[in-house]
């Protein structure tokens, strides 16, 4: 048993998709790091919008950009194919970022439309391609998605650094053009090394010759199980994506360090880079001993890690609130930056058990003919969770400790729900 595992290796196609996704995310997050600041800019480069107006467009863009994969996945399933869909998405991405390098509000809306279409074609199908590199039932899939997810976060880590460097020297428009260059690199890598991923559109049919336990489960039951998972992870994304709002506010105003809250956005992808391979190695060790938990179990553990991370933030806020001087405002305190870094470390551990595991789960459970659209469904759940980050509007209406406790409780509750559903989920996902 151990010998057969030792002979398994990740295909070269995984590393092609790793690099393709890394540069696409570099492009995507470069734009996100600058977009609202660009809309608010009053130096002549931007449009001088108010924060509320800029935030509104940003929120609507995020909602659309994470919902569009449902359509892109469906089109790929209907015959366009995953690899061609990703290439088409990459072209739309490049056009969108190039359009942003010209100053015109009409061009901005056209650019956003291109980016939404580009993400719809690109995101679900590159994720589906990863799963299709492996035979059905392969135990390497979970670790493959962990490695793939690391590529996402290398791009996310480098993007704001590069965007700030270019923007501070040459302005917003050259920085948006830089994002287009990142996308060009992504598409070029996929085209240049396409021989390593040519099988992704045929592997699904070929797998029929090697039946797996999941093949005996009716299509409706498999889809229903995935919908349950989608509903649960909506809460995770609602809590996790506070990193762009309330966690940044906290970093900016309540953390004792000599930098702004902007830098806090690099903490999470930094932890991903540190934790991914140790976690992959840990799962491999358990697998060799026959003790690796099922994917839904990993996701439940991830929800509890997420709850624990915000419990750390609750304790940090309680510590700060207890130190407020008489007569000072309730939010007039600062605590050590170690609270924030530590909480992000636990939150990232939860993320690594939920986000890449979710992609792996969809790849393994979705019926082959519906794999693209079901991968799109995962991103629709992400879109809904993004919209629900508006819970952050409570930030100024209650003590910080109470707000963090609400988020912790929400994550813990969904972790309990997932644990309670593990038995029926395992029946719908045998061998997963």
Other CB atoms within 10 A of residue 294 CB: 18
Contacts of 216 by beta carbon, 8 Å cutoff, 6+ apart:
430
Residue 395 contacts residue 246 (beta carbons within 8 Å): yes
Residue 204 banded pLDDT, cuts 50, 70, 90: very low
87 — pLDDT class (breaks 50, 70, 90): very high
CB 154 within 8 A of CB 273: yes
Identical topology for domains 11-193 and 218-432: yes
Q: What single-letter DSSP state applies at residue 68?
A: T
Residue 156 CA from chain centroid, whole number: 10
β-partners of residue 335 are 255
Query: What is the maximum alpha-carbon separation in the chain?
Result: 74
Q: Are 316 and 335 in contact (CB under 8 A)?
A: yes
Q: Is residue 1 scored above 50 in pLDDT? A: no
What is the model's pLDDT at position 4?
43
The domain defined by 11-193 folds into Growth Hormone; Chain: A; (1.20.1250)
Residue 299 and residue 296: Cα distance in Å, rounded?
Answer: 5
Main-chain phi, psi angles of 336, to 5 degrees: -60, 145
Instruction: List the chain domain ranges.
Output: 11-193, 218-432
User: Could you say which DSSP state residue 291 is in?
Assistant: -
**Model confidence pLDDT, tens digit, residues 141-193:** 777 887 888 888 899 889 888 887 888 889 889 989 999 999 999 999 999 99
Burial profile 399-427: b = 16 or more Cβ within 10 angstroms, e = fewer: ebbebbbbbbebbbebbeebeebbeebee
Q: Are 306 and 243 in contact (CB under 8 A)?
A: no
Mean pLDDT of 358-375: 82
Containing 336, the helix (H) or strand (E) segment is: strand 335-336
- Helices 267-288 and 337-365 cross at an angle (nearest 10°) of 50
Tell me what the pLDDT averaged over the chain comes to: 86
Q: Dihedral angle at the C-alpha atoms of 51, 52, 58, 61, nearest 10 degrees? A: -150
pLDDT digits (tens, 9 = 90+) for 208-264: 445 877 888 888 888 998 998 899 899 999 999 888 778 877 888 899 988 766 677
Q: Which of 52, 61, 175, 40 is CA-nearest to residue 116?
A: 61
3 state DSSP class of 293: coil
Q: List, for residues 10-67, the tens digit of each pLDDT value.
A: 889 999 999 999 999 999 988 887 887 788 788 888 899 876 677 778 778 888 998 8
Which CATH superfamily includes the segment(s) 218-432?
MFS general substrate transporter like domains (1.20.1250.20)
Query: Is 202 or 349 the better-scoring residue by pLDDT?
Result: 349
């Amino acid at each position: 048993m151990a010998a057969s595992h030792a002979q398994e290796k990740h295909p070269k196609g995984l590393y092609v998709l790793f690099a393709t996704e890394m540069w696409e995310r570099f492009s995507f997050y470069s734009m996100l790091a600058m977009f609202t600041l660009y809309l608010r800019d009053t130096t002549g480069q931007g449009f001088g919008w108010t924060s509320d107006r800029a935030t509104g467009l940003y929120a609507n863009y995020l909602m659309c950009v994470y919902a569009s994969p449902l359509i892109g996945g469906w089109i790929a399933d209907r015959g366009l194919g995953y690899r061609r869909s990703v290439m088409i998405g990459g072209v739309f991405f490049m056009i969108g970022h190039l359009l942003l390098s010209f100053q015109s509000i009409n061009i901005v809306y056209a650019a956003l439309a291109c980016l939404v279409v580009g993400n719809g074609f690109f995101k679900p199908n590159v994720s589906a391609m990863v799963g299709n590199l492996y035979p059905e039932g392969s135990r390497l899939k979970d670790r493959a998605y962990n490695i793939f997810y690391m590529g996402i976060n290398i791009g996310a880590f480098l993007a704001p650094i590069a965007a700030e460097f270019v923007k501070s020297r040459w302005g917003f428009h050259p920085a948006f053009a830089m994002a287009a260059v990142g996308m060009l690199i992504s598409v070029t890598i996929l085209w240049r090394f396409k021989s390593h991923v040519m099988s992704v559109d045929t592997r699904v049919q070929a797998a029929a010759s090697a039946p797996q336990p999941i093949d005996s489960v009716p299509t409706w039951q498999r889809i229903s199980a995935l919908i349950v998972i989608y509903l649960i992870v909506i809460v995770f994304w609602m809590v996790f994506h506070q990193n762009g709002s309330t966690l940044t506010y906290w970093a900016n105003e309540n953390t004792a360090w000599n930098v702004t809250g902007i830098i806090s956005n690099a903490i999470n992808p930094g932890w991903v880079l540190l934790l991914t391979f140790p976690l992959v190695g840990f799962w491999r060790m358990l697998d060799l001993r026959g003790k690796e938990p099922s994917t839904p179990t990993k996701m439940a553990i991830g929800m509890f890690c997420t709850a624990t991370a915000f419990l750390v933030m609750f304790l940090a806020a309680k510590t700060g609130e207890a130190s407020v001087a008489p007569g000072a405002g309730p939010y007039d305190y600062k605590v050590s930056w170690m609270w924030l870094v530590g909480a992000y470390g636990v939150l990232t551990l939860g993320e690594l058990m939920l986000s890449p595991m979710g992609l792996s789960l969809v790849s393994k459970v979705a019926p082959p003919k519906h794999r693209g659209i079901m991968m799109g469904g995962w991103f629709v759940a992400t879109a809904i969770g993004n919209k629900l980050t508006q819970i952050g509007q409570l930030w100024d209406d209650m003590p910080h400790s109470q707000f963090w406790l609400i988020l912790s409780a929400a994550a813990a509750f969904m972790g309990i729900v997932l644990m309670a559903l593990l038995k029926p989920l395992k029946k719908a996902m045998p061998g997963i």
